[in-house]
């Protein structure tokens, strides 16, 4: 059984306690924070960041950094909606998601060729493909905003679907969007992958010590191909989900979201150098980032401070593990 001291040193516990303390503080300042409608609004805001975070978690555990996933998501989303508008793709929700996932998978494999096969630095490759994918989209596909209601009844229906509806005491109802279930399903899949499969062990091993992983027989190239293909597939699915939630396909959307996603994963305990990270910690990090961003208005703070808060949280998230390691060494000594 872990001791109380060891339990409190776990980053997931620290983030969880921070969320509780922050929620109590915000609720005291503005009691409407605890309303069902606001809780559902915060949970809805976690959907896109959380879905992206499941892919970024795997990349960080493996010792890489991927910043191209927003461009992959926008590319897959906009191409899919454009094909529906032109009549090339039937307006069928399942077919739309399959196409978006396949487009994301293909772009993820494009990243994997340079990372796994040519062994180029992950940050450099994904920075390049971030610009490449966006450039191809804007130049060859289009740059106009498309309203979902005008082209796709199936996506419009998804945008109105709810997972849970609760009546408010003062009248009206509060709705939790169905897409929140997508996040839960993806989180369970990634958790099972990392915890119970040999592929998951390979991902942790590569991030912990690549040379040692090769010596014990892990196929590094095959694992990296899977990682970036999987991230691309998740990005494609997330991009189409974003279009349903926002009810539009905008090629300029989701710009800059990579900072929030990486911050959430790092805050949740994933090491920026690889080898460490959990799904539970990542979800808590996503909730904390969303809580901070969504609650600025409730606290009467300008949303212009959001970038400052996110940057500060990234620094805090990378500092906590260092301080924890030093504390463990002192206790051991």
276, part of any domain: yes
29, part of any domain: no
- Indicate left, alpha or beta for 242 from its phi (over 0: left) and psi (-120 to 50: alpha): alpha
The secondary structure of residue 277, as a DSSP letter, is -
In DSSP terms, 175 is beta-bridged to 165
- Per-residue model confidence (pLDDT) at position 146: 94
Q: Give pLDDT tens digits along the chain (333 positions).
A: 455 555 555 778 888 888 898 888 888 888 888 888 889 999 999 999 999 999 999 999 999 999 999 999 999 999 999 999 999 999 999 999 999 999 999 999 999 999 999 999 999 999 999 999 999 999 888 889 999 999 999 999 999 999 988 887 777 788 999 999 999 999 999 999 999 999 999 999 999 888 899 898 899 999 999 999 999 999 999 999 999 999 999 999 888 899 889 989 988 888 888 889 999 999 999 999 888 877 776 666 666 666 677 677 667 766 776 676 676 677 666
Global pTM reads: 0.91
CATH number at residue 182: 1.10.3470
Complete DSSP assignment for 296-315? TTTTT--GGGHHHHHHHHHH
Is residue 164 classed as helix, strand or coil in its secondary structure?
Answer: strand
Report d(CA 127, CA 160) in Å as an integer.
35
Report d(CA 269, CA 15) in Å as an integer.
9
216, part of any domain: yes
332, part of any domain: no
- Per-residue model confidence (pLDDT) at position 315: 77
173, part of any domain: yes
Residues 6 or more apart whose CB falls under 8 angstroms from that of 177 comprise 44, 47, 161, 162, 163, 245
- Per-residue model confidence (pLDDT) at position 97: 97
- Per-residue model confidence (pLDDT) at position 333: 61
298, part of any domain: yes
- Per-residue model confidence (pLDDT) at position 302: 65
172, part of any domain: yes
Q: Which residue range forms the structural domain that includes residue 68?
A: 4-22+36-325
The total number of structural domains in the chain stands at 1
28, part of any domain: no
Is residue 138 classed as helix, strand or coil in its secondary structure?
Answer: helix
- Per-residue model confidence (pLDDT) at position 1: 47
């Amino acid at each position: 059984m872990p001791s109380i001291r060891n339990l409190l040193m776990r980053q997931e516990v620290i983030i969880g306690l921070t969320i509780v303390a922050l929620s109590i503080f915000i609720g005291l300042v503005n009691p409407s924070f605890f309303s069902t409608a606001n809780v559902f609004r915060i949970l809805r805001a976690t959907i896109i960041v959380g879905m992206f975070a499941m892919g970024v978690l795997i990349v960080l555990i493996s010792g890489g950094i991927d910043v191209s996933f927003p461009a992959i998501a926008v590319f897959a989303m906009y191409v899919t909606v454009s094909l529906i508008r032109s009549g090339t793709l039937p307006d069928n929700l399942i077919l739309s998601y399959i196409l978006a996932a396949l487009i994301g998978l293909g772009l993820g494999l494009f990243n994997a060729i340079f990372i796994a096969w040519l062994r180029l630095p992950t940050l450099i490759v994904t920075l390049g493909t971030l610009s490449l994918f966006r450039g191809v989209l804007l130049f060859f596909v289009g740059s106009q905003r498309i309203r979902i209601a005008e082209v796709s009844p199936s996506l419009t229906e998804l945008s109105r679907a709810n997972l849970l509806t609760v009546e408010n005491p003062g009248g009206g109802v509060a709705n939790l969007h169905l897409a929140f279930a997508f996040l839960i399903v993806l989180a369970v899949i990634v958790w099972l992958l990392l915890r119970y499969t040999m592929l998951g062990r390979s991902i942790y091993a590569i991030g912990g010590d690549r040379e040692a992983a090769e010596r014990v027989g892990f196929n590094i190239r095959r694992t990296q191909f899977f990682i970036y293909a999987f991230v691309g597939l998740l990005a494609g699915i997330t991009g189409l989900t974003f279009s349903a939630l926002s009810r539009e396909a905008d090629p300029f959307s989701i710009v800059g979201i990579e900072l929030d996603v990486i911050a959430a994963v790092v805050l949740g305990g994933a090491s920026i150098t690889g080898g460490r990270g959990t799904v539970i910690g990542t979800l808590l990090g996503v909730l904390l980032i969303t809580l901070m961003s969504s609650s600025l208005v409730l606290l009467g703070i300008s949303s212009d401070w959001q970038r400052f808060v996110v940057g500060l949280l990234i620094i805090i998230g990378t500092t906590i593990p260092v301080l924890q390691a030093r504390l463990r060494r002192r206790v051991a000594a």
